[in-house]
Amino acid sequence: MARFQSSSPCTSFEREPRTRVLVRDRPSEKAGFHRFSIVVWSIWLVPYFTGAIGAMTA
């Protein structure tokens, strides 16, 4: 039985919002996922702050 009920067909967004890493609860996988997320956030934040600073100085 699905946790979230919807009238639309089941999509991946309607399942429990957890990653495989959290479900398995393996410390090595959590460490790798943490490193990966730090890299992704860094890649996202550099252009974000560059644009914000550029807009304030222009």
DSSP characters over 29-50: HHHHHHHHHHHHHHHHHHHHHH
Q: How many domains does the chain have?
A: 1
Range of the domain at 18: 12-57
Helix (H) or strand (E) segment spanning residue 23: helix 20-24
Q: What is the pLDDT of residues 3-47, one digit of tens each?
A: 555 555 555 555 555 778 888 888 898 899 899 999 999 999 999
Domain presence at residue 7: no
Domain presence at residue 33: yes
Domain presence at residue 3: no
Domain presence at residue 6: no
- Global confidence as pTM: 0.52
What whole-number distance in Å separates Cα of residue 48 and Cα of residue 39?
Answer: 14
Whether residue 31 contacts residue 21, with contact meaning beta carbons closer than 8 Å, is answered with: no
Residue type at 50? T
